[in-house]
Every structure is written in C-alpha cells, then in structure tokens.
Structure 1
Amino acid sequence: MDNVTPYLVPASLEHFSETEYLDANKDIQEAISKGIIESGLHHFKALGYAENRFFARRAAVARQKEKKLKYIVSNLLNKDELLGIHDCGALDCLRPEYRISAGITPTTAVSSHGYDDVNLKYIESNPTSWILDVGAGLCPSYYHNVVNFEVVPYDTTDVLGIAEKLPFKDGVFDYVISSAVLEHVRNPAAAAKELYRVLKPGGGIYIAAPFLCPYHGYPHHYFNMTAQGLRSLLPEELVDCNQYVPHFFAPLWSARHLFLHWISSLDEPAKEQLLNTKVREFVEASPADYTKDYNSKLSLQQQLDIAYGTVLTAKKPLAP
C-alpha cells in the first residue's frame, strides 16, 4: 500500500542490516555493549531467526514523518502548543507542567500493538482522511494519514503531549482512536472530552477500555471502567453509538490474564496449589479458602495488582 511504511519487518539473512537489527532489538544492543555477543549478525545466525526477530526501518519512517509533520503543523496543530522538535523527530507539545499534572515519569516499558479489524478497515479504506491515534504506542506499521500521539518518544511518534490537553485545533480529524489508553490517564473524563473536541462533525470515534483486567502500568494504571462508565464520558448527542465486546476483550481473556498474573506472583508450592484447584472449587469457595497459600502468600503489591477491590483510609489535615 502507498499509504503505509512498514516499521517492523521480519529480519532475514539475505537483506541483513546491522543497524536496523539493533534498532529493533535493544536487548541485543545491551548484550553487545556488555561483551556477551559479538554483533547483531552473530546473534541472528545463532538465535534471531528462531526467535522471529525484526528489523526496524527507522530511516524510511523518518522520511515519511517529515512529510506528515508539515501537514500537521499547517492544518491540524494549535501552534501555540508547539515547543519544538524532539530528538525522535516528533512535534514536542509535552510542556513541563503537563508532565507534572499527568504524572508522567520515564519508563522503559514499550507499548506496541497493531490495529484491530475495525480500525484497520477504516484506515485503509479512507487514505485521504486524517485519523488521530491517541496513545498509539510503537507502531509496527507507519500509516501516512494517522497522527500517532504519545507521551513516549517512539520512532513512530508524530506528536508528543497528553490526552487531557490535545494540542490540536477543534474539529480537524475525521476519525479518532483511543485503544486501551484511558485507564492510564489521571483524568479520563478530560481526555474523552478532548477526543471529542478535535473530531469533525460527522466524524467517527473508537474508544476501547478495559473493565476486568489486572494492573498493567505504562508506567501507571489508574482506572478500569464498565460499559456505562465509558459511555458516560462522552456527550449524550452521539449518534449511531454501539457498545460491544471484541474478541480480545472476551471473558476468557479476563480470567486468563488474571490467573497468569496471579500465578506469576507465587512460589512453586503455592503455584501448584492454585493450578490444581478446579473451577468448581472457586465457585463454591468458603471463607476458610482465603487462608490458602495462593491467597495468603501474596505480598500487598501482588494483591493490589489483581484484587477484587481496594480500601483507602485517611484523615483530613487539621486547619492551620
């Protein structure tokens, strides 16, 4: 497709590029710096093919980004918000006060995912439409009509800023995407209001948000939400509003992710105790079961990550 530049592509010996291989595999860079392996090529020949490693096409993305940013600045951006160009090539609108208000801290975590069928169909069927992806992450494919908005300066990031204060003009995007992002912002109501503000009249909005899922920080995780909670973030005037459960949010994955997180926090005896417990035993659990090792041996932080709920107690300070 003319509308997309692949960023991550499968590595191969025939077209091997040391630079592109190391750009895509930071762990190999680190291993080379420590003298553990000789080179990226050495690693690929020994392990890389079996591990399905990738090349990162940074140069190709940078060329397309330069063209895209000219349009963004001229037509979409509120120029008063622009601080300059970040080292990653993105438009930097991440003011120091925004970092503080949004609780942004440095992170080595990498959020990277492709688009689901709904979004992919829209992007590929509307090559002349402008699409905003808030919290785009590190994109495997760099679409020329998608503005990748992030707090993290990935190679594929176009604009840096926070969701609660989008640096764009009113009503300039044909379609807005927010996929598994609102749980990571301190003020999801403010973020949702901004998503709606920058959308053109008649434009489409796609918001995916988790409900029953364990803690997962990039680097923070503030809120999960019910379907009613998600709907309440947007104006009543919405038309053709549809709420559904996609396959990647199915109940099976709620249970699976919960148990994977739970199991990873246990020592071997407690892990075996949990794995050997039948579903019926959970359904028929009594208060006595709460003392079993797979409950009682979890640290407070491990409990907070997967708990049914939490309690906060505090006092209001005395008047000065």
Structure 2
Amino acid sequence: MSIVGLQNEVNRNAWIERKLKEIPDGWHILDAGAGERRCKPYCAHLCYTSQDFGQYTGCGDKKGLQTGSWNQENLDIISDIAEIPRPDLFFDAIMCIEVFEHLPAPLLALKEFSRLLRPGGVLLLTAPFCSLTHFAPFHFSAGFNSYWYEKHLPEYGFKILEIEKNGNYFEYLAQEIRRIDWVANKYTNCKANLFEHWIVKSLLKRLEKLSRRDTGSNEILYFGCHVLAIKE
C-alpha cells in the first residue's frame, strides 16, 4: 500500500524522539505550547515541564480542522507563551512543537525562549511550512519556511545547528489529495464516483514515483521545518 503523503507526523515524531534522546540525562526541559503533552514519553530521562495557554478545548470555533476533544488537565504551567513564570536561564532545553502557527506574535515566543534558556542550552522547533486552518480561532499563520528561522533565530541569540525539511513538493500534494474526500464531504454535496476514485489512486501512484526520484523539490514546498539550535 502506498504511503506517499502519510509521513508528515511520522517523520516529525522520529526526529523529535531522536533529538531528545541526544539531550543529557537530568536536563530541565520546557515543552512550550505542550497541548496534550504528546512529547512527554520521549522525555523520561529529563526533568520535564509542560506549558500551554490552556484555552483550546477541541471545538474551537467549529471551523477548519478541529480535534473534537483536548485534555490539558495535567499541564504544569498555564500562561501566555511570551510570559512564562520561571526565572531567567532556568531551562537547559526548550522544545516548541507545531506551535508557532498558533501564535499571533511568534517572535515574542523566541524572545522568551532566549530569556529562559541558559547559554549552551538546546532549542528544538518544528512548525508547518504550509498548513490548512486548524485549531481555529487560534490559527494565525499558514506556516514558516527555513529563511524565517535563519533570519530570526540569530537575532535572539541562537545558533542554528540543523534545519531539516520534512517531505517535498510531491509528498505535500499527496497529503492534500488524500484529504479530497473529507473536504468534499464537509463542504460540498458531491460524492466521488468509481472513476474519480481511480483518478486519485493514479495520482498518488504518480506522486509516489516522483517523490522517490526527487532531487530537491523541497526548495518550493514541504510539510515543515525541524530546527535544532543552541543558545549562545
């Protein structure tokens, strides 16, 4: 069975788990915008603190992509991400996973991370390059490309060690093609016939072939960036 377009979250989780394992035992890590704390299982060797603004319930404004339910009962800190109640240089590491698109002023979050993270501390960031409306009304940007990080992270005292682009043009198109039936069911009264289902399968097969032969289409479109940086 084809997996083209299905590896966005799989790739991201694998990168996060790999990078967290590289952080020394006992370091204090902040999971900023932690949501349901899905990354906590990767932090068993660390002193883990979760933070979120705590206002999303799963229903949002009932537009776009919503989760339906959302449990934040176990958060350690409920606060604005730009005003986290911890002293300067308190954390050894900070991760902020798929959060920036939900912030009206993401640079304020970077400024706060710079305040909270000690020199030599590790910063892990991921965010979409392009995204559909989700968690509305708390969705303020479609995404961020690698140039955004390259410009702004040094301005806040961070040295970039790694930027990994997740996916490519063909993988992204496949991801969205797989959503066609869901979007059609939600926003139209048009049901796909057998021929149209065949077209989708044929497109996915073509995109999988092109993705395997890809030589750099992620310079124009991909799922999102995975960024590793240190505080200088």
Could you tell me the TM-score, scaled by structure 1's length? 0.45
User: 1 or 2, which has the higher helix percentage?
Assistant: 1
Structure 1: unaligned runs, 5 residues or longer: 1-112, 280-320
SS in 1 for 2:51: strand
Aligned-pair CA distance for 1:268 = 5.8
Map of 1:296 onto structure 2:
none
Residues 1:228 and 2:228 are matched in the alignment: no
Aligned-pair CA distance for 1:138 = 1.4
Whole-Å Cα distance in 1 between the matches of residues 130 and 196 of structure 2? Answer: 20
Is the 2:32–2:96 Cα contact (8 Å) retained in structure 1? Answer: yes
Q: 1:265 to 1:187 in 2, by over 3 A?
A: same
Residue identity over aligned pairs, in percent, reads 20
Map of 1:116 onto structure 2:
13
Whole-Å Cα distance in 1 between the matches of residues 28 and 134 of structure 2? Answer: 30
Whole-Å Cα distance in 1 between the matches of residues 91 and 182 of structure 2? Answer: 42
Q: Which of 126, 131, 134 is matched with 2:32 structurally? A: 134
| Cα deviation 1:111-167 (Å, max 9, x = unaligned) | xx9x83444345455331000111112135484611111122713311101212222
Map of 1:181 onto structure 2:
99
User: 1 or 2, which has the higher strand percentage?
Assistant: 2
CA RMSD of aligned residues (A): 3.3
Q: Which of 113, 121, 132 is matched with 1:214 structurally? A: 132
Counterpart amino acid of 1:234?
Answer: L
Whole-Å Cα distance in 2 between the matches of residues 170 and 274 of structure 1? Answer: 57
Q: 1:225 to 1:122 in 2, by over 3 A?
A: closer
SS in 1 for 2:125: strand
Whole-Å Cα distance in 1 between the matches of residues 170 and 74 of structure 2? Answer: 32
| Cα deviation 1:211-264 (Å, max 9, x = unaligned) | 122111265211111111233332245335321124xx5545522442344432
- Between stretches 192-201 and 151-160, larger displacement belongs to 151-160
Is the 2:82–2:109 Cα contact (8 Å) retained in structure 1? Answer: yes
Q: 1:239 to 1:159 in 2, by over 3 A?
A: same
Q: Taking CA–CA contacts closer than 8 Å with sequence separation of 6 or more, which of the two structures ends up with the larger relative contact order?
A: 2
Q: 1:218 to 1:203 in 2, by over 3 A?
A: farther
Counterpart amino acid of 2:153?
Answer: L
Structure 2: unaligned runs, 5 residues or longer: 1-9, 55-70, 204-232
Map of 1:148 onto structure 2:
50
Q: 1:250 to 1:137 in 2, by over 3 A?
A: farther
Is the 2:51–2:77 Cα contact (8 Å) retained in structure 1? Answer: yes
Whole-Å Cα distance in 1 between the matches of residues 19 and 190 of structure 2? Answer: 49
Aligned-pair CA distance for 1:183 = 0.3
**Count of residue pairs brought into register by the alignment:** 167
